[in-house]
C-alpha cells in the first residue's frame, strides 16, 4: 500500500483530525515544518499509520494544548514541539489491543518531556502501550526530570543580538531567562508531585527543596496563573507539605484570593493558625 506525506497545513480549525492524505492514502510522515507557526489549532489527532515526524513538524504552534499519537515506534525529528508553550497533554492511543488504564499524569509527563528535555531520548513511546511499560517509561522520565532540575538555571541561555546594545542588555536578558527557567522548574515540580505514582523519596525531597527555596516565585506563579494554580487547593497542599507555605505567605495570598474561594481561604487560615500555635518563628524568617 502506498503512503503519503503531509506537507503543509493552511486551515484555521481549532481541532484537526488527520486520517488520510490528500489522495485518500494512509499518512506515514508529517513533513518538516508542516504545522509551523499555526496559531489556530488547539487539538491535533494523528493517524495510526504515522511512522515519522520530521524536524520542527509542530514548532511554534502557540495554542496547541493537546495532541493524540498512536502508541507505536515513531521516528521523531529535531525540536518537533519547539515553542509549543501551551502544550499540556500528549495522549497515546492504543493500537490493536484493548485500552489500558493509564498511569495518572502520563499524558502530562509526555507533554513536559517534549517541551523541556527531548534531548534525553524518552521518545520510546511504544513502551506506554501497557501499564508495566508506562511505569518503566516513568522511571526514565524521573531520571531526566532530576537532571533537568539540577542543571544551572542559565543552562541554554543565548543572548539575542538585535542592533547595538551594552552589557546591561545581555545581563537583563540572562535575568529574564533565569526567572522563566525557574518558574518552569516549579511547574514541573508541581506536576510531578500532583501525580506522584512511582515517585522515589530522594527526588521528592529534592523537589520539596525547590518549592521552599523559591517560595516567592511560587507565590508569583499562583497569582500570575490564577486559574491553574491559584484556584486549585491541591497545589496549596503540596506547597504546604513541602514546607514552603509559611504563615506570612498564607496571609499575603489571602489578600489576593477572591472571596469566592471559601475552601482555599479556610485552608490558608488553618495554615496560619497551626503555625502560630506551634510558635513556628523560623517559618517567618526571610532567608
Whether 163 shows a pLDDT value over 50: the answer reads: yes
Q: What's the CA gap between 183 and 85, in Å, rounded? A: 13
Question: What is the CATH class of 4-150?
Answer: alpha beta
Predicted confidence band of residue 287 (pLDDT cuts 50, 70, 90): very low
Whether the CB-CB separation of 31 and 57 falls below 8 Å is answered with: yes
pLDDT tens figures, 16-57? 999 866 677 889 999 999 999 999 999 999 999 999 999 999
The alpha-helical segments, DSSP class H, found in 46-166 are 106-116, 131-150
Which pLDDT does position 195 carry in this prediction? 96
Q: By percentage, how much of the chain surpasses pLDDT 90? A: 62
With vertex at residue 105, the alpha carbon angle to CA 104 and CA 109, rounded to the nearest 5 degrees, is 145
Tell me the mean pLDDT in the region 73-82.
90
**Torsion sign over Cα 177, 61, 226, 104:** negative
Whether 164 shows a pLDDT value over 70: the answer reads: no
Q: Is 196 exposed, middle or buried (0-12, 13-18, 19+ CB in 10 A)?
A: middle
Tell me the mean pLDDT in the region 178-189.
96
Cβ atoms within 10 Å of 229's Cβ, excluding its own: 20
59 compared with 166, residue with greater pLDDT = 59
83 φψ region: left (φ > 0), alpha (ψ -120 to 50), beta (else) = left
pLDDT tens figures, 85-141? 999 999 888 765 555 567 899 999 999 998 988 766 665 666 676 788 888 889 989
Listed in sequence order, the residues at least 6 apart from 263 whose beta carbon sits closer than 8 Å to its beta carbon are 233
Whether 168 shows a pLDDT value over 80: the answer reads: no
What's this model's pTM, rounded to 2 decimal places?
0.87
Q: What's the CA gap between 69 and 90, in Å, rounded? A: 7
Whether the CB-CB separation of 250 and 268 falls below 8 Å is answered with: yes
Which pLDDT does position 35 carry in this prediction? 97
DSSP state of 130: S
On average, the pLDDT of the chain sits at 88
Q: Is 166 exposed, middle or buried (0-12, 13-18, 19+ CB in 10 A)?
A: exposed
Tell me the mean pLDDT in the region 219-242.
94
Asked which of 27-41, 63-77, 94-108, 225-239 is least confident by mean pLDDT, the reply is 94-108
Segments of the chain assigned to CATH 3.80.10: 4-150
Q: What's the CA gap between 252 and 248, in Å, rounded? A: 6
Q: Which residues partner with 15 through β-bridges?
A: 43
Amino acid at each position: 500500500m502506498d503512503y503519503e506525506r503531509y506537507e503543509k497545513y493552511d486551515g484555521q480549525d481549532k481541532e484537526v483530525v488527520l486520517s488520510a492524505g490528500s489522495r485518500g492514502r494512509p499518512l506515514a510522515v508529517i513533513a518538516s515544518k508542516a504545522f509551523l507557526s499555526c496559531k489556530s489549532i488547539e487539538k491535533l489527532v494523528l493517524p495510526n499509520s504515522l511512522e515519522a515526524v520530521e524536524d520542527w513538524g509542530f514548532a511554534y504552534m502557540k495554542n496547541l494544548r493537546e495532541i493524540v499519537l498512536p502508541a507505536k515506534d515513531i521516528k521523531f525529528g529535531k525540536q518537533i514541539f519547539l515553542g509549543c508553550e501551551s502544550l499540556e497533554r500528549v495522549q497515546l492511543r492504543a493500537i490493536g489491543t484493548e485500552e489500558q488504564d493509564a498511569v495518572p499524569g502520563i499524558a502530562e509527563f509526555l507533554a513536559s518531556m517534549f517541551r523541556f528535555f527531548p534531548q534525553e531520548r524518552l521518545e520510546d513511546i511504544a513502551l506506554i502501550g501497557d501499564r508495566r511499560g508506562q511505569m518503566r517509561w516513568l522511571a526514565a522520565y524521573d531520571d531526566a526530570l532530576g537532571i533537568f532540575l539540577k542543571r544551572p538555571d542559565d543552562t541554554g541561555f543565548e543572548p539575542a543580538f538585535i542592533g547595538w546594545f551594552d552589557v546591561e542588555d545581555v545581563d537583563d536578558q540572562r535575568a529574564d531567562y533565569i526567572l522563566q527557567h525557574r518558574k518552569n522548574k516549579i511547574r514541573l515540580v508541581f506536576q510531578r508531585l500532583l501525580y506522584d505514582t512511582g515517585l522515589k523519596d530522594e527526588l521528592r525531597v529534592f523537589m520539596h527543596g525547590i518549592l521552599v527555596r523559591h517560595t516567592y516565585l511560587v507565590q508569583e506563579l499562583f497569582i500570575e496563573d490564577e486559574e491553574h494554580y491559584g484556584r486549585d487547593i491541591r497545589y496549596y497542599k503540596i506547597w504546604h507539605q513541602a514546607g514552603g507555605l509559611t504563615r506570612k505567605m498564607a496571609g499575603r495570598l489571602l489578600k489576593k484570593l477572591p472571596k469566592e474561594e471559601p475552601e482555599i481561604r479556610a485552608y490558608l487560615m488553618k495554615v496560619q493558625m497551626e503555625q502560630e500555635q506551634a510558635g513556628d518563628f523560623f517559618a517567618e524568617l526571610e532567608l
